[in-house]
Amino acid sequence: MKQIIIEKSIVKNNEELAKKNKDFFNNKKIFTINLLGSPGSGKTRVIEKIIGNIKKCYNMAVIEGDLYTAKDAMRIEKHNIDVIQLNTGGTSHLDASMIAISLQHLNTEKLDFLVIENVGSLVLPESYDLSEDMKIVVMSVTEGNDKPLKYPSMFKCSSAVILNKMDLIENTDFDINEFYRDVHTLNKDIKVFEVSCRDDSGIDEISDFLKEKIRNKKTY
Amino acid sequence: MKQIIIEKSIVKNNEELAKKNKDFFNNKKIFTINLLGSPGSGKTRVIEKIIGNIKKCYNMAVIEGDLYTAKDAMRIEKHNIDVIQLNTGGTSHLDASMIAISLQHLNTEKLDFLVIENVGSLVLPESYDLSEDMKIVVMSVTEGNDKPLKYPSMFKCSSAVILNKMDLIENTDFDINEFYRDVHTLNKDIKVFEVSCRDDSGIDEISDFLKEKIRNKKTY
């Protein structure tokens, strides 16, 4: 695992750098997702869970965004895939320049699938384009069903939402009908995966969804 | 309930405005807290729970920070106390200028206690001084015990942490010993309240803690 510590972020040319990254991913046919969600929604756990399914078929790597620690990257590394720990030094989200730096340290020759786990937040940053093919938001039922309307940009821009910790839903006031109504009002095409990383429900469905996207990118 | 929508934030003179707000709070002897924490950690619920205890003794008002909606302020308003909804229009945190604007719309003549609920985040923003007497961070056990080390500034700057959703701890992998060790390593003086808003455990303890602080400010 390589750990990169960003001293100062260069956000001013984010768009230009994002385009450069995007051309790189397209030329190499690497399918890339930007995984977003609150601290503690379970982003790293979801990645850990899908690795087994994905790596049977495709080469996968992870860029772990975090303020200071390498805790998440250490968890991913145990699953024997390439991982870069990207520390923002306090900045609340990743930007295209940080991804460009990470790409210099990743072996992308045979890479099919790249997961970028963003810093925990439900606020979509202004310089949010990381040149990913798709944003996916992870939210847990313990956060409450009001989150889509409270953080609408995140749900409008994401192609899928992983509704995590479904095993705890009976212990919460989470109104799943209201959640579906709100999330589809914001984004009628968003795909919802109901998931529990405790009993693995929904993990195969996400993996199959991603494998299809990876396959499509290879034949793009 | 008054709803204020911020078109453009004026962060450049945050420090100066924060000082002005601070003088105002000190002159009026209003004890003020800045309540922070992830989306879905239970900040609004904690406020709802302590209102009953506090308003028996003191006049209390709430400023509710949110990106776009008035959902949280509507919840607070039901408890018959003054509340201002402050919409940042997408900005991920409140600043001193927003508080200054809100104060123009609050009846502060007989006010003893002001709660400012910040936008949901565990990242402490650069312009974080809202002229509060105290920062309190709410985190729920469902977020995982790794959060203090992952978001250290938040825990270093807070006087107390409300460890919420304790009723769910048995259903999680939350290691409470590790949590206490980490949080006290970051901030040896931080006070921890173990709370459940479902069975009201810990609510009296937070209320008593705050009432003492309000009383001290009155006699300051």
Name the residue facing A120 among B90, B122, B149 (closest C-beta). Answer: B122
pLDDT band with cut points at 50, 70 and 90 for residue B4: confident
**Complex ipTM value:** 0.90
3-state secondary structure of B220: coil
Q: In this predicted structure, what is the pLDDT of residue B90?
A: 85
What mean pLDDT is reported for chain A? Answer: 93
Q: Where is pLDDT greater, at B13 or A165?
A: A165
Residue A56 CB-density burial (10 A; 0-12 exposed, 13-18 middle, 19+ buried): exposed
The answer to whether the CB atoms of B151 and A39 lie below 8 A apart is: yes
Q: Which residues of A make CB contacts under 8 Å with B?
A: 38-40, 66-69, 71, 90, 92, 119-123, 125, 139-140, 142-144, 146-147, 149-153, 165, 167-168, 171
What mean pLDDT is reported for chain B? Answer: 93
3-state secondary structure of B60: strand
pLDDT band with cut points at 50, 70 and 90 for residue A14: confident
Q: How far is CA A194 from the centre of its chain?
A: 16
Q: Are strands B113-117 and B134-140 parallel, antiparallel or unpaired?
A: unpaired
Place of tokens 């409270």: A150
pLDDT value at B10 more than 60? no
Picking from B109, B13, B151, B4, the residue whose alpha carbon sits closest to that of residue B65 is: B4
Place of tokens 């469905």: A205
Minimal C-alpha gap between A177 and chain B (Å) = 18
pLDDT value at A33 more than 90? yes
Number of domains in chain B: 1
Name the residue facing A168 among B66, B142, B147 (closest C-beta). Answer: B142
Cα Rg of chain B (Å, integer): 16
Q: Which two tokens stand for residue A207?
A: 């993996």
pLDDT value at A121 more than 60? yes
Q: Which two tokens stand for residue B81?
A: 């106390």
Q: Which two tokens stand for residue A164?
A: 């995590």
pLDDT band with cut points at 50, 70 and 90 for residue B127: low
Q: In this predicted structure, what is the pLDDT of residue B12?
A: 64
Triad A81, A85, A87: Cα angle to 5°: 170
Q: In this predicted structure, what is the pLDDT of residue A6?
A: 67
The answer to whether the CB atoms of A121 and B119 lie below 8 A apart is: no
Q: Distance between CA B3 and CA B101 in Å, rounded?
A: 11
Q: Which residues of B touch A167 (CB under 8 A)?
A: 171
Residue of chain B minimizing CA distance to A150: B69
Q: How far is CA B26 from the centre of its chain?
A: 18
pLDDT value at A118 more than 80? yes
Amino acid identity of residue B150, one-letter, is K
pLDDT value at A83 more than 80? yes
Q: Which two tokens stand for residue A129?
A: 């384009």
Q: What is the mean pLDDT of residues A177-185?
A: 98
Phi and psi torsions of A38, nearest 5°: -55, 155
pLDDT value at A9 more than 60? no
pLDDT value at B129 more than 70? yes
Q: In this predicted structure, what is the pLDDT of residue B11?
A: 56
Q: In this predicted structure, what is the pLDDT of residue B26?
A: 96
pLDDT band with cut points at 50, 70 and 90 for residue B128: confident
Name the residue facing B152 among A68, A122, A125 (closest C-beta). Answer: A68
Q: In this predicted structure, what is the pLDDT of residue B197?
A: 97
Structural domain including B118 reads 2-6+13-218
pLDDT value at A125 more than 80? no
User: Which CATH number covers residue A140?
Assistant: 3.40.50.300
- Span A136-179, pLDDT tens digits: 999 999 999 999 999 999 999 999 999 999 999 999 999 999 99
The answer to whether the CB atoms of B39 and A153 lie below 8 A apart is: no
The answer to whether the CB atoms of B39 and A147 lie below 8 A apart is: yes
Q: In this predicted structure, what is the pLDDT of residue A11?
A: 57
pLDDT value at B93 more than 60? yes
pLDDT value at A7 more than 90? no
Q: What is the mean pLDDT of residues A63-75?
A: 94
Q: In this predicted structure, what is the pLDDT of residue B179?
A: 98
Q: What is the pTM of this model?
A: 0.93
Q: In this predicted structure, what is the pLDDT of residue B124?
A: 84
Q: Which residues of B make CB contacts under 8 Å with A?
A: 38-40, 66-69, 71, 90, 92, 119-123, 125, 139-140, 142-144, 146-147, 149-153, 165, 167-168, 171
Q: What is the mean pLDDT of residues B6-32?
A: 84
- Span B151-206, pLDDT tens digits: 999 999 999 999 999 999 999 999 999 999 999 999 999 999 999 999 999 999 99
Evaluate whether A168 touches A137 at the Cβ level (below 8 Å): no
Q: What is the mean pLDDT of residues A43-60?
A: 97
Q: In this predicted structure, what is the pLDDT of residue A124?
A: 85
DSSP secondary structure string, A112-177? -EEEEEPPSBSSPPTT-----SEEEEEEEGGG-TTHHHHSHHHHHH-SEEEEE-GGGGGGS---HH
Q: What is the mean pLDDT of residues A77-104?
A: 91
